[in-house]
Each structure stands twice: as structure tokens, then as C-alpha cells.
A and B are shown apart, each in its own frame.
Chain A
């Protein structure tokens, strides 16, 4: 199947000489929910800007559903809806008109444009405000306005650049719900984020970008499985009397009621519990010490030489426990 997005050898050097993209390759399957994850300044917005014709590339190829950006820019533009990182609408224009005008730029006549605007503004809870000026909206509403505007020409690929920045938790969840729904309806979605939790809870596929380079491009599941060690925090219901010695899974005592255990890939939680059982320790609850993705991410972007973690498709990955929470 033709990829929703295909990028080859993409480079960007800004006018001041700064090299923001150092030759990235990326492929996003149609229908996927894809995360481009990376710290601030990694080059996420630059990449999105090039795909959406807002930034000129220095070198490389971009194809969207098979349409080449250099040869058929119009077809590329029609296939994409963009929700940019920064608000970019006219603050002094009514919300309804912002959406309807955007449709007009794609050749959609006014009557049909209003029909679609109503549909998306209702879904995003903004229809009642259609006559208000955009500047009167809260941050979360402005973000949703940009989502409605991005969808009004029914693009096959929706790109969101840091969509939940400045959106409070509750609204964030409902926005995620909405995005999941339109993804299930068949729209491909790419979002950039530096919130790891966001990528983990939404996206099935992920690429990690750092310093203008893609350092990982895989499924979320495989990525998580690549972590060799997971640290579990065990809360005990009774104080520790004696710690089991020389166990296969290393156990450390943190305080009277807390232990930590490092579980390697290929080891089983069952073994840990058997050991604890034999030592007469009662576990009340258990959790991951850190967000694994976060740990992985930090490790990767610190450029630590740990090639074995990074080799894709390592066998035995499937035995790694899924998120036990």
C-alpha cells in the first residue's frame, strides 16, 4: 500500500546556517496513528513545516500518498490538514468564518463549507461560539478551532504539531478521544509531541527525532520491549525482616516497606514473586519505577553506547511483560 507519508534524505539548513535536519528518512503507513517524538529543538516543527509547504527544504524527497511534493504540490496540499504548534488564525475573525474561509481556499463553496464547519465545530464543542471572535477563546478552544479548520477539506492525513501544549488534562483526554475516533474512521494521523505519555497512550507507531536525526522508527510495542531492564517498585504490607540473598532477580531494600527489583528481559515476574513468597514477604502493590518510554528516551538521546538495546526486532521481546499497571 502507498505510504501516507514517505520522506527520504530530508535536509534543512536555515538561512543563518543552522542545520535543523540532517538527512531524515521516515515512512508512515496509511491509516496509522503515528508519533514523532523528540525534545524541544529536535526538528519536529521543521519537518512538519516542510511537509506542509510552509518551509522550503534544502534537500531530499517528500511524498504524501504517493504524490511528490516537488512535482505535485497541489495534490500533497489537498491530502494534508495541519494543526500547527503556534496559533495562526486571525484573532479578529469570527470562528465560523475562519473555518469556512479555509474551506474556500480549497475550492469548497460557501454552502457546503458551512455544512462541514457546523459538523466539525459541533463535534469539537465550538458551534455555539461560531460568531465570536477567535481571540475570545481559551487556549484549549483555540487548539480545537485549529483542528476543525484542518479537517474542513477532509484531508486523508491529519498532522498535529504538539496539539496538547497548553490544554488542560480533562480537555486533553477528550481531544485524544476525538483523534482516536477520526483515526478509526480511516484518517491517518501524525502528531509530534515531547510528552511521552501522549505518544504512548495514542500512537501505535513512533519515530524518535533528536538533533535533526531520526534515531528510532518502529512500533510502540517494539520500542517498549527494547528496554532490557525494568525496575519494579514493591510496596509491602509488613516491614521487611530479612531480605532474600543471592536471588536471580536483584532485590534492593529502599525503606522498611519498600523494595525495588530489576527485571531483565526474559525473566518472569512469577519468579520474583516466588522468591518473595519464600522469604515471607507480602506485596501490597507494585508499579514501574519510571515511565519506560521516558527512560528509554533519555538513554537514547544521551547517546549512550548501548547498541544491543537499539537493534530492532530482538528476539524474546514478546516475552517482556506488557505494562503491568
Chain B
């Protein structure tokens, strides 16, 4: 690949990311505000009202325990839904064709959409973090781990959203996975409890849930406590990213859902 190509691809990548950011920023009332309000409610209800009666979880105040999980929940759902709606929308209104006729490699299209999703995921993540400061002091055990885990998780779910967008044919199709897969997995992924509370059998089942490792890794970065070694979290996330990225590349190359 020549320097000229690299330059062109870099410009194309920036163009897609900027376009994606402007898209969700223009409709911030639909994209940024709702998750912030929802999480604020979680803090008030679970952390404040119910949490007082729960007492400690893994040696932390319940409110402090759920903050990392709720941030991750927001990052996961927003990274995912940004890409799935944007990609599906661009198929629906056909402006995906603007990219398909131009000389952008599929990898750059994928990265552009994914980092658009990451921008939304992290924006909402930061907003939720700011809200959490009203309820719980910010605790940072290892900022590097926190950042890397949240970034990789965001990339992972943006990729998953892209794949959902490739297959989606109707607006229903873009809601099915978030509602029936993503939300349950996140709730069961240790956002509200430590898996060590579960009976052994359900602990085993939970360990098949990849989101568990992400929430756990992030909680380690924040609180310094975790159910698994941090290396396991990184390995799981890395593996999923590699698989999803390859799948996305194959789908775009074959033109699934975008080229007849």
C-alpha cells in the first residue's frame, strides 16, 4: 500500500467517523439523553433506595459496586445501537451506495462505522460517569486497565452492531438483538451482583457470558476487585473482536445485504 493510499484511506476514515459523530450529536435527545436518564434512575433506585438495605457487595458499598457495571451497560448498548441504526439506516435510505461506489476498502468502512459507535459509546459512558459522581465518589484503581477495557468493549459491540446492521432487513431486525440478547446478557453479566453470590451451577453458566468478563475487567480497573484475572478479560474481548471483525469483513466483501 502506497503513501498516497494510506493518506486517502485516512481521510476517508475521518470522514466516516465525523459523519457518524455529527449524526448522533444532531439527535442527542434521542441518543445521549435517554441512557443518561435511565442510569440516573438506576443509581437512585438500586443504589440509593434498595442498595441501603443490601449492604455490601464484594466488600464495597452497593452503590459503589454497581457504578462500573452501569457505565459498561451504557457503553455496550450505545456502541451497539449507534452502529446498527446508522448502518441499517444507510441501507434503508440507500446512502451506503455513496461508499460502495467510492474506492474505500471494506476495512476502512468497517473501522469508520465502528469508531463512530465507539465515539457514541464513550460519550454516553462519560456522561453516565459524571452522573454517578452525584452518588458515588470516583474510584480509580488502574486507569489504564479501565480505559483499555472500556475501549475494547466498545469496539467489540460496535462490530456486533455492524453485523446486525448487515443482516437487518426491517426496523424490527435492529431491535431484536439488543432486546432479546444484549440486555439480558448484560443484566446477567454481573452489573448488579457479583457472580460469586450464585450457586455453583449458575456460576458455570454465567462464565459462558462474555459480557461478564468485560464488566469484571472494568470493575477491576475501577475498584481493584474482580472475580477473574484481568488477563482472562483481555483474552475474551480480544478473541471476540478478532472473530467479529473477520466476519464483518467477509460479509462486506460478499456484499451480503448491500449488493445484489
Which A residues contact B (CB, under 8 angstroms)?
Answer: 14-15, 49, 52-56, 73-74, 77-78, 80, 82, 84, 86-93, 97-98, 101-102, 104-109, 149, 153
CA distance A167 to B104 in the complex (A): 32
When distances are taken between beta carbons in the complex, the residues of chain B under 8 Å from A153 are 102
Pair B98/A102 contact, Cβ less than 8 Å: yes
When distances are taken between beta carbons in the complex, the residues of chain A under 8 Å from B15 are 101, 104-105
Stretch at the interface among B3-11, B59-67, B74-82, B175-183: B3-11
Pair A106/B103 contact, Cβ less than 8 Å: yes
B44 within 8 A of A: no
CA distance A280 to B238 in the complex (A): 96
Residues of B in contact (CB 8 Å), total 29
When distances are taken between beta carbons in the complex, the residues of chain A under 8 Å from B99 are 105
| Chain A interface helix/strand/loop/mixed | loop
Nearest A residue (CB) for B12: A105
CA distance A91 to B7 in the complex (A): 29
A14-B260, A102-B102, A106-B8 given; 14 more Cβ-contact pairs under 8 Å: A54-B97, A54-B100, A77-B101, A78-B103, A92-B26, A93-B23, A97-B22, A101-B19, A104-B11, A104-B15, A105-B102, A106-B103, A107-B7, A107-B103
Quick one: which of B232-260 are within 8 Å of A by CB? 255, 259-260
When distances are taken between beta carbons in the complex, the residues of chain B under 8 Å from A84 are 97
Pair B101/A53 contact, Cβ less than 8 Å: yes
When distances are taken between beta carbons in the complex, the residues of chain A under 8 Å from B94 are 86-88
On whether A101 and B100 interact (CB within 8 A), knowing A56-B255, A107-B12, the answer reads no
Pair B95/A88 contact, Cβ less than 8 Å: yes
When distances are taken between beta carbons in the complex, the residues of chain A under 8 Å from B97 are 54, 84, 88
When distances are taken between beta carbons in the complex, the residues of chain A under 8 Å from B26 are 92
B90 within 8 A of A: yes
B15-51 to A contact mask, C-beta < 8 Å, 1/0? 1100100110010000000000000000000000000
CA distance A104 to B89 in the complex (A): 20
When distances are taken between beta carbons in the complex, the residues of chain B under 8 Å from A106 are 8, 12, 102-103
Output the least CB separation between B81 and chain A (Å).
Answer: 17
Pair B260/A55 contact, Cβ less than 8 Å: yes
Which of A82, A93, A101, A108 is B101 in contact with, Cβ under 8 Å? A82
CA distance A98 to B15 in the complex (A): 11
Pair B19/A74 contact, Cβ less than 8 Å: no
When distances are taken between beta carbons in the complex, the residues of chain A under 8 Å from B95 are 88-90, 93
CA distance A88 to B259 in the complex (A): 14
When distances are taken between beta carbons in the complex, the residues of chain A under 8 Å from B4 are 107
Pair B102/A97 contact, Cβ less than 8 Å: no
When distances are taken between beta carbons in the complex, the residues of chain A under 8 Å from B7 are 107
Which of B9, B19, B22, B89 has the most chain A CB atoms closer than 10 A to its own CB? B19
Pair B12/A77 contact, Cβ less than 8 Å: no
Q: Could you list 11 examples of A-B contacts with CB < 8 Å? A: A53-B100, A53-B101, A54-B259, A56-B259, A90-B89, A90-B90, A98-B98, A104-B15, A105-B15, A105-B102, A107-B11
Output the least CB separation between B198 and chain A (Å).
Answer: 45
When distances are taken between beta carbons in the complex, the residues of chain A under 8 Å from B11 are 104, 107-109
Which of A56, A82, A91, A107 is B260 in contact with, Cβ under 8 Å? A56
